[in-house]
Structure 1
Amino acid sequence: MIRLDNISKQNGHQILFIEASAVLNKGEKVGLVGPNGAGKTTLFRMITGRELPDEGQVAVDRGVTIGYFSQDVGEMAGRSSVAEVMDGAGPVSIVAAELKELETAMADPERADEMEAIIERYGEVQHRFQELDGYALEGRAREVLAGLSFSQEMMDGDVGKLSGGWKMRVALARILLMRPDVMLLDEPSNHLDLESLIWLEAFLKDYDGALLMTSHDREFMNRIVNKIIEIDGGTLTTYSGDYAFYEKQRALAEQQQQAQFERQQAMLAKEIKFIERFKARASHAAQVQSRVKKLDKIERVEPPRRRQTVAFDFPPAPRSGDDVVILKDVHKGYGNRSIYSGLDFSVRRKERWCVMGINGAGKSTLLKLVAGATEPDDGSVTVGSSVKMGYFAQHAMDLLDGERTVFEELEYAFPQAGQGSLRTLAGCFGFSGDDVEKKCRVLSGGEKARLVMALMLFDPPNFLVLDEPTNHLDMATKEMLIAALAQYEGTMLFVSHDRHFLAALSNRVLEVTPEGVHTYGGGYTEYVDRTGYEAPGLRS
């Protein structure tokens, strides 16, 4: 369906592709992977014709429809979410628009002399609309939006009043409703809660078209894709299998290449030693010349390219008391809506609670109550002795000073720290070289999240309260964070939609439901085994 033939592409001084080739066949579900800045979004743009390769060609079979979801959703305002989604449904939305125009024309007395032609055309268009299942379009649009956690009120309200994250979901819903021959999805799992993520997983599994997508959620990727295309060092390499298979194969290929490289280096060293030893002896001149020629002809094996991954080690946090936080008979509501009524809940030292609950159940509210970011209407929240809390909230990223550079922000927070240790800290969280000189106002969402995380973890608290800490983080940073938190000696209370993060770090589950809260001993994996669902109310 889509072929990339020997494409080369350069952006400024950065070479993205060098004679790279890959194929997307009918019905394939492919994960596109590679480090940040490798050219994933550029590849999408070349497939859609928004950018052209410098050399080579991108060939799309005739008549193939492509739906492209990107992080740049553009302006939306002035109509309902449902109308916005229906407008992007491909051919059927164009037919629907003409049908509406013809209905207006039929009601216009000034066009009476054209009425016969208008009615004839209306019949043709109506027949085409029925063929495209147009009358079911609104129902299908509402079904997709409901799957992405929209309430009826949000579906019918002005799309312009939604936050950026919800507008992303509207843009995604447009592509899903369109059901094109090929879907290109650039980070569709961003901004989704766990329920929406699991719904989208099921939708994409049932979708019979071809799919090419990027995602920072390894579990999501694993369950959908059956092929991986990796961008690395300007080349495209294809692996048959899911993301876990790709990781194993890539590691194996790296080991084999390293072994080949080392064998060749040993052989070269031996040959060079012989040449050096006997080059001055006339009796060995022929042998020396023969070996020099042989060395010139040998194709050199390159060592495997090492991805830059830096481990973050927690300095030891001070020990807290055994009672970290106690909530007693807590009541909390917003307006007429009660979120908690008589909540009793306590966190003990070294417990790692993940908080589960449907959208709007009160997960973030619980974290705010614990962190002191909001007060209970009644009851008490008591933080234990010697507790030093670190709170990561979504709005924390807005508190960065836009005019400071990354390094200045770190220096401002830790004036006593040495430059070397701050540079190491910045490197752990993906800011290397000139990146530390970027002003905070130009940072991407992922970069801001990483900087806030660095600020919070450098002088480690003994109680971490984390609200969606993995939003915006790429897979490599997530893995680093999970590895660091696995070694962390303190206590945790967190909300996350990333199942890999939940399974790796929780040892307790608090489920928030309309009927009250339920607690489970054991972590997220045990919770799924015991309840039979991955998120409240959703069967796995």
Structure 2
Amino acid sequence: MSLITLRNLGVTLGMPLFSGLNLSVNASDRIGLVAANGRGKSTLLRLLAGALEPGEGEITRARGLTVGHVEQSVPSALMGATLQDAVLAALPADQAEDERWRVDVVMEMLEVPDALRTRPLSNLSGGWQRLALLARTWIREPDALLLDEPTNHLDLSRILQLEGFVNGLPRGTAVIVASHDRAFLDATTNRTLFLRPENSAAFALPYGRARAALDEADAADARRYQRDMKQAAQLRQQAAKLNNIGINSGSDLLVVKTKQLKQRAEKLEDAAKPAHLERSAGAIRLSNRGTHAKVLVTLEDATIATPDGTALFRTGRQFICQGDRIVLLGLNGAGKTRLVTALKAAIEGAAVPGIKATPSLVLGYGDQALADLADADTPLAALTRRFALGEPRARALLAGAGVVIEKQGKPLGRLSGGQKARLGMLVLRLAEPNFYLLDEPTNHLDIEGQEALETELMAQQATCLFVSHDRSFVRAVANRFFRIDRRRLVEVEDAEAFFAEAAALNG
């Protein structure tokens, strides 16, 4: 049964986001919506929810259809409300009075601890705020659920919990998920729509298999275009030869034949369509200064503790060597961030008992909040103050990283999350480190950016230790695996057992 039908849908905001889009959303569909940052995913979800009207084409909804839309941010008017009151307020007044029990049901579904239910949303983490928005939407039990970047700000445990929630929804509920989390898309969807300015592509497959099918289709289009253009060139060459012969011989037949060949070439050229070329949101490049030292960091059974001195775990004797790409695994509260903080301090010259960094180590540090980039600063100032760059060079580097010239002199707070993340990567590159310490490096990066970062880390043979809840990124990048387990730091063979145990805890 079709719940929503799109016919020749199109939106242009300065440039086309998508056009000629045709799609049927059926009951029980689980559709992954994929596109780079700023390429129309949120716009399409708002169109589906009825919050926007299309610039062209039409949207038809089944009679009586209810649509729930979970957007990316909490309305400011709700920030002072407690979590449970914010969820209750999503119900109509008469229903809220008689069916308050619905709040408890959805809270249990999302495993919200009792202590958090009476806290104001402003006092909750970004992850719990996201789940509060989901609770507000699901309490109305919509026929179609739209999720806009639902895993943003969630740790692995909550992502796995959200996967279980989505997969446990009633079979007749359609779900459309706009996300850059490849593993989440693979776990929760059975169809994939790749949104493009022209010729958006849909496959009845989850993301990973759909991406392979899309790449194959794009490669076939490229081969077809090259073949058609080559054939057109050959026809034009034949026409030129016949034209010369016809002129010299005075043959009217050859003149006619020349005209026919030219027409065939023109027809081929007019019909030929170049393969899709994704417009980059900004390049990600890294550097590797290199060092002669083989061991960059030595852990000599260091004690990692909370700021008040409470011991969390001991590291044992561990070495971080050139070429290591180490992922740090551990449940929430195990001490991952505290270890990253201790490593950063030791590398920057502080005396940290049990942690020794080689003197030739040059740190490239990036945290998930991009705290080193102040919102009041400008992108241009952020570069020119740190590095010996002339303004023209700085502007060219910023443009290459996806920060257009109009935004280079405006406060960083006006950049999108993706633009700010790419700027952070540019700052890391210009520091020319030989060791990267990265806390959730794929936050705010679209799939193109994630894959570019993966490629750069491996191509540069960069040494790094990173924390990430992005399972696809971990699987692609890490070649060593440190796990905080039973108050000890141990090396394990891979991340799969940890992922499986985390999933079981949320099963």
| Length-normalised TM-score, structure 1 | 0.82
Separation (CA, whole Å) in 2 of partners of 1:345 and 1:442: 45
Percent identity (aligned): 27
Residue 268 of structure 2 is aligned to residue 302 of structure 1: no
Residue 368 of structure 2 is aligned to residue 366 of structure 1: no
Q: What SS class does the counterpart of residue 57 from structure 1 fall into?
A: strand
Counterpart selection for 1:273 from 237, 245, 248: 237
Separation (CA, whole Å) in 2 of partners of 1:325 and 1:537: 34
- Per-residue CA deviations over 1:150-190 (Å, capped at 9, x if unaligned) read 54322222223224443223212323444321011110011
- Per-residue CA deviations over 1:95-129 (Å, capped at 9, x if unaligned) read 44333xxxxxxxxxxxxxxxxxxxxxxxxxxxxx4
| Counterpart contact for 2:302–2:355, Cα < 8 Å | no
Counterpart selection for 2:150 from 178, 188, 196: 188
| Counterpart contact for 2:37–2:418, Cα < 8 Å | no
Residue 291 of structure 2 is aligned to residue 290 of structure 1: no
Corresponding residue number in structure 1 for 2:10: 8
Within a 5 Å distance, the mapping from 1:120-159 to structure 2 comes to: 129=99, 135=101, 137-146=102-111, 150-159=112-121
Q: What SS class does the counterpart of residue 28 from structure 2 fall into?
A: coil
Separation (CA, whole Å) in 2 of partners of 1:273 and 1:375: 70
Shift of 1:19: 2.9
Counterpart selection for 1:533 from 495, 500, 507: 500
Within a 5 Å distance, the mapping from 1:227-246 to structure 2 comes to: 227-246=191-210
| Counterpart contact for 2:364–2:431, Cα < 8 Å | no
| Counterpart contact for 1:332–1:378, Cα < 8 Å | no
Letter of the 1:182 partner, please give it. A
> Any unmatched runs of 5+ in structure 1?
100-128
Corresponding residue number in structure 2 for 1:391: 365
- Per-residue CA deviations over 1:380-422 (Å, capped at 9, x if unaligned) read 4333332222221234335336342x34422332215895597
Counterpart selection for 1:214 from 178, 192, 197: 178
| Counterpart contact for 1:353–1:492, Cα < 8 Å | yes
Separation (CA, whole Å) in 2 of partners of 1:200 and 1:524: 20
Separation (CA, whole Å) in 1 of partners of 2:375 and 2:55: 39
Corresponding residue number in structure 1 for 2:53: 52
Most deviating of 163-172 and 499-508: 163-172
Residue 491 of structure 2 is aligned to residue 520 of structure 1: yes
Letter of the 2:108 partner, please give it. E
Separation (CA, whole Å) in 1 of partners of 2:372 and 2:325: 27
Residue 67 of structure 2 is aligned to residue 97 of structure 1: no
Separation (CA, whole Å) in 2 of partners of 1:332 and 1:212: 42
Most deviating of 264-273 and 312-321: 312-321
Residue 213 of structure 2 is aligned to residue 249 of structure 1: yes
| Counterpart contact for 2:288–2:461, Cα < 8 Å | no
Q: What SS class does the counterpart of residue 410 from structure 1 fall into?
A: helix
Letter of the 1:495 partner, please give it. V
| Length-normalised TM-score, structure 2 | 0.87
| Counterpart contact for 1:145–1:170, Cα < 8 Å | no
- Per-residue CA deviations over 1:330-354 (Å, capped at 9, x if unaligned) read 252345x835265545332133332
Within a 5 Å distance, the mapping from 1:396-415 to structure 2 comes to: 396-397=370-371, 399-400=373-374, 402-404=376-378, 406-415=379-388
Most deviating of 246-255 and 477-486: 246-255
Q: Cα distance 1:259–1:381, how it changes in 2: closer, same or farther (>3 A)?
A: closer
Larger radius of gyration: 1
Separation (CA, whole Å) in 2 of partners of 1:68 and 1:314: 41
Letter of the 2:5 partner, please give it. R
Shift of 1:202: 1.6
Corresponding residue number in structure 1 for 2:28: 27
Corresponding residue number in structure 2 for 1:80: 82
Separation (CA, whole Å) in 2 of partners of 1:539 and 1:71: 23
Q: Cα distance 1:156–1:521, how it changes in 2: closer, same or farther (>3 A)?
A: same
Q: Cα distance 1:506–1:256, how it changes in 2: closer, same or farther (>3 A)?
A: closer
Letter of the 1:191 partner, please give it. H
CA RMSD of aligned residues (A): 3.1
Letter of the 2:151 partner, please give it. S
Letter of the 1:158 partner, please give it. P
Q: What SS class does the counterpart of residue 399 from structure 1 fall into?
A: coil
| Counterpart contact for 2:235–2:264, Cα < 8 Å | no
Letter of the 2:459 partner, please give it. Q
Q: Cα distance 1:44–1:401, how it changes in 2: closer, same or farther (>3 A)?
A: closer
Q: Cα distance 1:383–1:7, how it changes in 2: closer, same or farther (>3 A)?
A: same
Q: Cα distance 1:185–1:431, how it changes in 2: closer, same or farther (>3 A)?
A: same
Q: What SS class does the counterpart of residue 271 from structure 2 fall into?
A: coil
| Counterpart contact for 1:355–1:493, Cα < 8 Å | yes
Residue 285 of structure 2 is aligned to residue 330 of structure 1: no
- Per-residue CA deviations over 1:257-316 (Å, capped at 9, x if unaligned) read 122212211221122223333336231122123334444544421111212455635344
Separation (CA, whole Å) in 1 of partners of 2:179 and 2:263: 49
Separation (CA, whole Å) in 1 of partners of 2:131 and 2:506: 22
Separation (CA, whole Å) in 2 of partners of 1:169 and 1:204: 12
> Any unmatched runs of 5+ in structure 2?
none
